[in-house]
Amino acid sequence: AQTVTQSQPEMSVQEAETVTLSCTYDTSENNYYLFWYKQPPSRQMILVIRQEAYKQQNATENRFSVNFQKAAKSFSLKISDSQLGDTAMYFCAFISSNSGYALNFGKGTSLLVTP
């Protein structure tokens, strides 16, 4: 079974600074997808970024980028120029390309952006 581990339950960063959230996963699959979802205080789940395992290039979406290390099974999220609106719970998720039917989520990291 695939597991997703987020080892940082809570993090804090000052506005305009950069923060990195960690995620590791365990799988024997070679083809899969990784995601970061954001859940702000409204509790609405929002897709932040997606990475396909067969692509070596790290995905980026504006201020959000990932550091995908396939051999190490690591998928960290970097938020640059942090904004107050980035305050949220962040979930890392995994799905196998071949046998996956639903996203498998980590326990989440609560990020607080302070002025």
Partner 1 sequence: SQTIHQWPATLVQPVGSPLSLECTVEGTSNPNLYWYRQAAGRGLQLLFYSVGIGQISSEVPQNLSASRPQDRQFILSSKKLLLSDSGFYLCAWTTGRSAGEKLFFGSGTQLSVL
Residues at the site binding partner 1, with contacts judged by CB under 8 A: 6, 9, 32-33, 35, 37, 43-45, 47, 50, 52, 91, 95-98, 100-108
> Token pair of 72, please?
């190490």
Residue with Cβ nearer partner 1 (16 or 46): 46
Closest distance of CB 14 from partner 1, Å: 26
Residue with Cβ nearer partner 1 (20 or 104): 104
DSSP 20-73: EE--EEE-S-SSEEEEEEEE-TT---EEEEEEETT--SPPEETTEEEEEETTTT
Closest distance of CB 15 from partner 1, Å: 27
Residue with Cβ nearer partner 1 (91 or 113): 91
Closest distance of CB 24 from partner 1, Å: 14
Closest distance of CB 105 from partner 1, Å: 4
